[in-house]
Amino acid sequence: MTNLGVESSNLEQETSEDIPNVGMKFNSEDEIYSYYNNYAYQMGHGVRISSTRTKGDKKYYALGCHKEGVYEPKSESNKPRKSSKIDCKAKISVIIDCDGKCTISGVCFEHNHALSPRKSRNHRSHKKIDPYSKRRLELNDSAGISVAKNFSSLVVEAEGYENLTFDERDCRNYIAKVRQLRLGKGDAEALRDYFVRMQKSTNFFYVIDMDDEGRLKNVFWADSRSRAAYQSFGDVVSFDSTYLTNKYNMPFAPFVGVNHHGQSMLFGCGLISHVDTETYVWLFKSWLECMDGHAPKAIITDQCRAMQAAIARVFPESYHRLCLWHIMKKVPKKLGKLKEYKAIKKTLKSLVYESIEYQEFEDGWPQMIKDYNLENNEWLCSLFNDRKRWVPLYVKVIF
């Protein structure tokens, strides 16, 4: 068996039963995948399924190295996407008969890249969260513990990152999925039934987004009063998903405006399972449909990139402003640990609230960064790049 640059020369010698051989039989696809994936883990590479085809009552496919195949970009680009595919030929060919039994019909051990058993846990096919860790993640998330602290506790308990078969991103993805499905099937149906009853008696509008198993993912609704208010006071809309969450940990996301008495008016609201771009796109499109396709002239939100991308897609003609209150509220959290925090805060507030000319602000900000050695502060850098969306000097001509 030939492998280029296998990291450890002290690998235990495999027996003939440990190495895939032509003619080996397995009872199911899951069994043969588990077998080859365990073998790949010992060798130091990942696994992916490829070359699936059906002929008659038999199915043929290959389990190959994760670097199998060649990446082909879908469009021309000056910066092609990085890919792990380097046309590695290592694989096993599998035949599945009509009874689901699997047989290895071909084997290739030749890798065109170095193998690293120590890094096996980083390959996608080897990443898995065990039942105990899943339960811990769910309980801690329900108690309001952040994902970072949640994962750190598992690292400490396992006595090191190298002893876990997953990383923090896997934990985030798992918790996101759990939150998405936390509302049970019965609860979703009860909510839908209530909305149907409301729609019979009033000009009530609702949209429910459910998964394949009948469990609720996202929901939007607006009553007749909200819809009527938007027709009169919908020039500027404020949207915020940072409100309190309910017992299902689904953020409450209201659309709010202001009437001629300076009072807040509700233009509709939603419960969402994710705070990503696609979820916001779904919510914004639902709200726009409710308001007969009339987009607001301007919309105010907090500093959220996912939300910003969704607004650009759904409300391309609306002016998007970032909420000044949200931004200034973050100052203690983002800068409070700095040695010269009080002086920085005073200078920052002076630039934001007292600048009269554009040049005054654009000269003063870089000077503040230089005076207090803040060149590596990503938050302040992003604020300056978005200055035309939140600094009063730039938005006063529109608001």
pLDDT tens per residue across span 29-75? 888 888 888 888 888 788 888 777 777 778 888 888 877 777 666 55
- Please report the beta strands in 247-389, taking only residues with DSSP state E, as ranges in sequence order: 252-258, 264-271, 298-301, 319-322
Region for residue 289 given its phi and psi (left: phi exceeds 0; alpha: psi -120 to 50; beta: otherwise): alpha
Mean pLDDT of 321-336: 91
Question: Are 341 and 318 part of one and the same domain?
Answer: no
Tokens of 268: 């509709």
Burial class (CB in 10 A: 0-12, 13-18, 19+), 8: exposed
Over residues 119-133, the pLDDT tens digits come to: 666 677 767 777 888
219 and 268, same domain (yes or no): yes
Q: What is the mean pLDDT of residues 163-169?
A: 77
Token pair in block for residue 378? 């990503």
Contact by Cβ (8 Å): 253, 243: yes
Residue 255 lies in a domain: yes
Flag the least confident range among 159-168, 297-306, 307-316: 159-168
In a domain, residue 16? The reply is no
Same domain, 295 and 210: yes
Residue 390 lies in a domain: yes
Q: What is the pLDDT of residue 116?
A: 72
**Segments forming the whole domain that contains residue 361:** 331-395
CA distances 353 to 331, 357, 385, 392, Å, are 14, 12, 17, 7
Residue 5 is predicted with a pLDDT of 45
Are residues 277 and 164 located together in one domain of the fold? no
Q: Same domain for 71 and 199?
A: no
Residues 175 and 190 in one domain: no
Q: Give me the pLDDT at residue 184, please.
A: 55
Q: Which of 74-88, 115-129, 252-266 has the lowest mean pLDDT?
A: 74-88
Same domain for 336 and 245: no
Q: Tell me whether residue 15 is in a domain.
A: no
Residue 194, in any domain of the structure: yes
Count of domains observed in the chain: 4
Domain endpoint, select from 280, 299, 322: 322
Pairwise CA distance, residues 320 & 79, whole Å: 29
Neighbours of 264 (CB within 10 A): 10
For residue 392, give the 3-state DSSP assignment: helix
Residues 292 and 211 occupy one common structural domain: yes
Distance CA 190, CA 217 (A): 14
Of 322, 350, 381, the one marking the end of a domain is: 322
pLDDT above 90 covers a percentage of the chain that reads 31
Q: Does residue 6 carry a pLDDT above 60? A: no
Q: Is the same domain home to 301 and 196?
A: yes
Q: Which residues of 355-389 are buried (b: 16+ CB within 10 A; e: fewer)?
A: beeeeebeebbeebbeebebeebeebeebeebbeb
Q: Are residues 250 and 348 in the same domain?
A: no
In a domain, 359, yes or no: yes
Whether residues 261 and 371 fall in one domain: no
Q: Provide the pLDDT for residue 142.
A: 67
Range from 103-112, 165-174, 244-253 that averages highest in pLDDT: 103-112
- The residues that bridge with 195 in the sheet, in sequence order, are none
- b/e sequence 144-175, b meaning 16+ C-beta within 10 Å: eeebeebbeebeeeeeeeeebbbebebbeebb
Which residue, of 288, 322, 356, is where some domain finishes? 322
In this prediction, residues 90-112 reach a mean pLDDT of 84
The answer to whether residue 12 is domain-embedded is no
Say yes or no: 122 and 140 in one domain.
Answer: no
User: Would you state the pLDDT for residue 392?
Assistant: 93
Residues with Cβ within 8 Å of 53's Cβ and at least 6 positions away in sequence, in order, are 59, 60, 61
* Token couple for 207: 């949209």
Question: CA triplet 348, 349, 354: central angle to 5 degrees?
Answer: 115
> Does 123 or 248 have the greater pLDDT score?
123
pLDDT at 375 over 70: yes
Asked if pLDDT for residue 220 goes beyond 60, the answer is yes
Please give the order of strands across the beta sheet that includes 236-239: 205-210, 216-222, 264-271, 252-258, 236-239, 298-301, 319-322
Residue 13 resides in a domain: no
